[in-house]
Every structure is written in C-alpha cells, then in structure tokens.
Structure 1
Amino acid sequence: MRAVHFSIGLSLLSATMAPAQQAPCGGDFSAFVGQLAQDGVARGHDPATVQRFLSDVRQDPAVLQRDRGQGIFQTPFIEFSRKLISQDRLDRGRRLAQQYDGVFSQIERNYGIARGVLLAFWAFETDFGAFQGDFNTLNALVTLAHDCRRPEIFRPQIFAALELYEQGAFDPATTTGAWAGEIGQVQMLPRDILENGVDGDGDGQVRLKTSAPDALMSGAKMLAGLGWRHGEPWLEEVELPEGMDWALSGLETTRTVAEWERLGVRARDGALDDGRLEASILLPQGKGGPSFIAYPNFRVYFEWNQSFTYVMTAAYFATRLEGAPVYEAGTPAPGLSGEQMQALQRALQARGYDVGEIDGILGAGTRAAVRDVQARLGLAADGWPTQELLNRL
C-alpha cells in the first residue's frame, strides 16, 4: 500500500473558497486525495479536521484485487446455496435467535422484519460477527473512489466517514472492515451507519463491531428505510402447474398471488400469502430446478446486494431459519461456464440487449435478456442459459 501525506494550506482551503467540483476518478492518487480535501472543506468541514482525517490515507491494491475477483457470483444458485448454508449455520442461527430473542422481538414490533431475515444477513456477511474483515476502511473507500469502475458509489461514503470521525465514531487509522468499506457485524457503509445506526443495547453508543443488538437493530432500521414492508413475506418455494408458461417467470413479470393461484401455482409447504400481494415467479436454474414466488419485500434485498445469486440464497436461508423445508433441487439442465457466460453476454449485447458489464455473472439483466431471446428462438423462456442457447446465438 502506498501512503499519501499532504499538507493543506489554509489559503487553499479557506471558508471563502469556491464550491468544490466533483473530483474525477483516476490520475495521480495524491492529487485525488487533495481534491477530496478541498471538497471536504467546501462541504463545511474544518480544514484541520480534514487534514487529520486524510493525512495518512493509502491506496490499497488488495482492495482492487478483491473488487475484480468476485467470481464466486458465477456459481449457480444450488451450488452457491449449498456452500453457504450448512447445518452448523442453521443451528447457530437458531441458538442466536433464542439468545437475542428480546432484540428480535423488538425488531419485529418496530420494523416488521422477521428474525430469519437479519440472521441470514448476519451469517453471510460476517459468520455471525466472527469475521468482519481487516481492511482499513478509509483506505478501501478512497481506493475504490479513485478507481474508475464505481466511483459514484464510494466517493460519498468518504464524506460520511468524515462525519463519523467528527462524532468520534470513526478512526482513520484503526477502523477496519470489509474490502468494500462496510463495517460491523452486518456490514454497513458509513452513510448507512450515519442514517440508521441504533443503540440497541442501551449503553449510549452505536457499536456495530462489538454489539450484536446494535448491529441487528441498525440493520433492521436500514432495511425498513430501503422499503421493507412491515410484517409481509419475502420468498416462498412453490410448485408450478403442468404447461406453465415459462415466459411469465422473472422479476419483470408480476401478478397478484390470487392470479398465480388461478394459474395453478401452489405453495410447496403450507399456503401462499395474501392474495392481493403482487409477486413474481423465480426459477434460479430454469424450469428443471427449484421454483419460488417472490413477494415485494424480496426486491428490497437488491438494495443490500445486487447479486441475484446472493439475494436468492440470503432470502431462501431466511425462510429456512423461519422453519421452511429444504428446497426441491430438481434436475436443472447444465449451465454455462464463466467464459461461456461472457460469450453469451457479448452475443446478447451485440443483439442490442443491455446486460451490463461482461462479467460472466448471470444477474437479473442477463436473465431478462436470456428469457426474451429464448422466446424469440422458440425455446423454453425460463431465463436459464444452456449450451443449446449459446449455440443458437
């Protein structure tokens, strides 16, 4: 990691300076940090405070390496979920649900979020607090803001961290977390901590790294702020009728639960929820694999993490923690390798489909494009790309 030390002249960072411009990404790292400092003062922060906050910031190549190496999200849902969901995690989740029963009961009353939802995030993000990451948070945020892949996500988080620093809740030298700048047991970015931090244990502080009640209550408040609907479900495994129109699957298509029932969709265990709720049918590995109905709250998961595979697995694990049975895996058709998926994405992009980054990951955008082109080619439009589809394209 390369350290950056700079001195901020008071004339440069005076209260009368012109409004700061958006600092461009890339270029010389020291100059970039200097531009951040100017912007921080233009936002009303004390020049000396800004200097102390940024004085030892370093560019971290390991952060960029992790950002470029997210190949795990190329893993299909069944394999991915089996890797992440173990009997040990289920058992620990249920024990923790009992240990923090009072906290979860308060969350359910205040925010209408089932305990399984928070337990699943807690498990996947940090293995229930055991592995919270050892990346210097400020270095990670500045490195990712300087990088030109997603600077608009990370740059605002630097100034949120500065606000936390001014409040005595962030130490540029010692605050650590995940490689992407998230902090604490449920991994929250600085802006989310500012807006949603909750003192869940009543000690007068918000300590997301060491206090499970603080972390869980803060995560619940954040989910509520992202649009979680009080007391409603999020995901349920279903059985689909013979002759199902596969083109109706996917997040792009919604029907009321009552309409899905009239089409022959049934809950695999128990009954579907309120017939008036809008819902979608999801086939994470096509018509041969497991099938689920996704309620409105399922979409909130994408505000937490944009990986379809992660979201499906987190939402499904939450249902398991609430007592749902193991899904019926079925016999899905073999999928594509990462390289094949990239070839498919390039072929779809050449035909005018917006599949986002060519990354070999079967995300929501690629699934929608696959479903459309499958229908055009007379294939089962289930959103699951196969070698046959790639050959046809």
Structure 2
Amino acid sequence: MRIFPFFLFALLAAGPLHATCGGSFSTFVAAFKTEAIAAGYAPETVEDFFASAQQDQGVLRADRSQGVFQKPFIEFSRRLISQNRIDRGRRNATRYKSVFDRIEAEYGVSRGVLLAFWAFETDFGAIQGDFNTLNALLTLSHDCRRPDLFRPQVLAALELYQRGDFSPTRTTGAWAGEIGMVQMLPSDILESGIDGDGDGHVTLKTSAADALMSGGRMLAALGWRAGEPWLQEVVIPGSLDLSHTGINHTKTVAAWAALGVMARQGEMAAGDLQASLILPQGHKGPAFIAYPNFNVYFEWNQSFVYVLTAAYFATRLEGATVYDAGNPNPGLTGAQMKALQAKLQDRGHDVGKIDGILGARTRRAVQAEQVRIGLPADAWPTAALLSRL
C-alpha cells in the first residue's frame, strides 16, 4: 500500500472512475483519457501522454511468476545476501557518507535500511528494469487482480509528465511500475521526491543522492520513528509460550525480557518499547524481535519473507552477526502449502489467495490451528500439522 499525493485522493473522491479493468484494452485506455480530461488535464497533454500506450504481456507474466517468495526465510535470505553485497554496501556507505548523514539528521532513517533496499531493489542501481513504465502501469491497471493499486499510479505518471519529469516512451523501470535506484512508484516520487544533489532535478535513475534522500523521506512519511531500531536477533527460552509470537502479537521489551528473551548480540531496546517476537521457521530456527519500525517495511513491500530479509540485511550492514539458523523442522512444498491453505480456508480462516506463499494471514491461521490441536504454536506449518488437519 502506497501513500498517494492529495491531488490523487481528490480525483478518486470526485466520483467513480470511468476506466474499469478487463475488456478491450483500447477501450480501457480511451476511458482513461476521458477520465484524465475530466480531472482537468488539457486534451492535447492527455493525447500525447497516452499516444504510445500498449498492453505488455511480459508484465503479466512477471506478475504471475513470483515463485521466489515461496521460499522460506533461511533459503531466501541466503540467496539475496552475499559477502559481495555486504562489501559493496559498506563501500557505498563510505562513498555516500554525507548523504546518509543528512538522511539520518533530517528523517531519522538509519543508513543500513536504505542500503539494504538499494541492494535488493536494483543491486545498487545496476539493474533498474527495462519495462516501459507507462505500459506496465496501464497493463496492471487493466488487469483485474489489483487494479486499485495501480490505477492511481497512471494519474501520478501523467502529473509527472505534465511537470516534465516523465516520458511515456523513454521512462523505464521494474515490471510493477517502480522507477529508479530504490524503485519508487510515481505517486511516491510526487510525494517524496527530493533533489538530493542540488542540480535542480529529481533524477532517481542516475543520482544516488536523489534516490536515497527520496527513499528516506518516503520512509519517514510512512511512519518511520527516528532513532529507533527495527529488528534484532534474539535467543528464546524453551519454556516460552509460543502462542504469543508473531507480528500480530506485541509486548513491551521489558515483558519479553521477563519471559527470558535475550538479545543474541548487544542489548535490547528500551523496556517500554512495544515489540513482536518473530520465528520465521518455527521455534527451532532463527528468532528476531521486531520493533515498531519493522511494520513500516510492509508499506514498502508486503511480502513477509522479503521484509524480514531486508530488515535483517540492514542490521548486517550495521554490524550484526550472521543469524543462528538452528535446526528448524522441515517446511512444506508449494503444493503442500496450497493444500494447507485450502484446509485452513475450509475451517473459516482468511488466508487470502491460495498461492503456496506463507504470508501473514496464513501464519495467523496456522498458529490458531496449532493452538487448537495442541502443537507448538510457532506459526511454522509442518507435515504434522497438515496431517492433523
């Protein structure tokens, strides 16, 4: 979920949108033109903006083949985090020290957080995507899976075009419409774009200063709490009531400490800070305490495994040790996960789409069934749970 500039809210609140998903793509684009003109854009501007619009089947294929998010945390994090990325991240921290100093002073976002996003989103700017951004946004708006997420982005791109900061034919980026080194959607750029290098332009594709400053401002707007941590590896006692774990449960840091939860490195945050205890692969695997800033990550990306990996990588870039992987119980295959989600849904749980991905809603449902059946309630689905269901 992205934040949208006020003018987009005004457009959306003015009345029902004319361009509905599905059907003929050309009819859809024509309706979008009518909508844009009704919103106050000059007809010639609208015609020029949409003149080259095409549906992109490559975007739809990319949207439907995100199998990497089905991987469990240990495998996923080891795939994304390498010593090379750590070394390059630390070199970039030195190279852009003055930029990160400014971000921390103005927005309170720690440099490791932005370095991790920069690494994962575009490999520090090296791979920014070559999809035509307008076509990607229109294709995903026309597609009926998540039209409401992408439709406002078309209007935001039109606003950027009118300001001279977007080209319908030359602006490229990721398949989901994000642009630049830290991959920001058009509405993010309108709301949070910063001229970090002082050249008079917000150039997120070629200016690291612009991209990083803009990313920091966006995180601050999304609710980042200055000077507070976001994630920390912990050690849990064998006697812990596992039903209290998960991002949907919180206690004060002092309360977790009273239950025997300890930092694996350093000290935990202030005792009155609210926090969740996360066991991404159950009570036999790694354990993390997630502070309020961790929730802001879900405004950037809604994949649990991506968010946790990005947050953990940020701690590594700032000196944390490699997590203790432990010896977690084997997880489920993709097919088994889908079967489990179907069984959970049949029992009245909201797991969202049956897609084989262990997301937040599936974890909550798994934990509830573990409590009911009497299995360790760590939200990690196993063959034993699937069999019992």
User: What secondary structure is seen at the aligned counterpart in 2 of 1:236?
Assistant: strand
RMSD: 0.9
1:241 and 2:237 correspond: yes
| 1:114 corresponds to which of 94, 110, 114 | 110
- Structure 1 CA distance, aligned partners of 2:190 and 2:314? 26
Give the match for residue 366 of structure 2.
370
User: What secondary structure is seen at the aligned counterpart in 1 of 2:338?
Assistant: helix
Give the match for residue 11 of structure 1.
none
Give the match for residue 212 of structure 2.
216
Contact kept, 8 Å, 2:235 with 2:287, in 1: the verdict is yes
Which deviations, in whole Å up to 9, do the C-alpha atoms of 1:203-224 show, x marking residues without a partner? 1110000000000000000000
User: What secondary structure is seen at the aligned counterpart in 1 of 2:275?
Assistant: strand
User: What secondary structure is seen at the aligned counterpart in 2 of 1:95?
Assistant: helix
Which deviations, in whole Å up to 9, do the C-alpha atoms of 1:116-159 show, x marking residues without a partner? 00000000000000000000000000000000000000000000
1:129 and 2:125 correspond: yes
User: What secondary structure is seen at the aligned counterpart in 1 of 2:354?
Assistant: coil
1:51 and 2:42 correspond: no
- Structure 1 CA distance, aligned partners of 2:256 and 2:141? 44
Give the match for residue 69 of structure 2.
73
1:260 and 2:256 correspond: yes
- Number of aligned pairs? 376
Alignment of 1:262-301 (within 5 A): 262-301=258-297
Give the match for residue 94 of structure 1.
90
Which deviations, in whole Å up to 9, do the C-alpha atoms of 1:38-74 show, x marking residues without a partner? 1101111111100100011000001000000011000
Contact kept, 8 Å, 1:60 with 1:140, in 2: the verdict is yes
Which deviations, in whole Å up to 9, do the C-alpha atoms of 1:345-379 show, x marking residues without a partner? 01100100000111100001100100000110000
Moved over 4 A (4+): none
Give the match for residue 37 of structure 1.
33
Listed as ranges, the gaps of 5+ residues in structure 1 are 1-17
Contact kept, 8 Å, 1:20 with 1:42, in 2: the verdict is no
Contact kept, 8 Å, 1:282 with 1:293, in 2: the verdict is yes
User: What secondary structure is seen at the aligned counterpart in 1 of 2:136?
Assistant: helix
Using the aligned pairs only, state the percent identity.
66
C-alpha displacement at 1:239, in angstroms? 0.6
TM-score under structure 1 length normalisation: 0.95
| 1:321 corresponds to which of 317, 323, 339 | 317
C-alpha displacement at 1:22, in angstroms? 3.7
- Structure 1 CA distance, aligned partners of 2:109 and 2:299? 15
- Structure 2 CA distance, aligned partners of 1:130 and 1:105? 23
- Structure 2 CA distance, aligned partners of 1:329 and 1:133? 33
Change (3 A) 1:19 1:267: closer
Give the match for residue 162 of structure 1.
158
Contact kept, 8 Å, 1:20 with 1:38, in 2: the verdict is no
User: What secondary structure is seen at the aligned counterpart in 1 of 2:161?
Assistant: helix
| Residue identity opposite 1:362 in structure 2 | L
Give the match for residue 342 of structure 1.
338
1:360 and 2:356 correspond: yes
| Residue identity opposite 1:277 in structure 2 | L
TM-score under structure 2 length normalisation: 0.96
| 2:139 corresponds to which of 119, 143, 151 | 143
Contact kept, 8 Å, 1:135 with 1:177, in 2: the verdict is yes
Contact kept, 8 Å, 2:251 with 2:274, in 1: the verdict is yes
C-alpha displacement at 1:93, in angstroms? 0.2
C-alpha displacement at 1:20, in angstroms? 6.4
Contact kept, 8 Å, 2:19 with 2:29, in 1: the verdict is no
- Structure 2 CA distance, aligned partners of 1:107 and 1:270? 25
Give the match for residue 101 of structure 2.
105
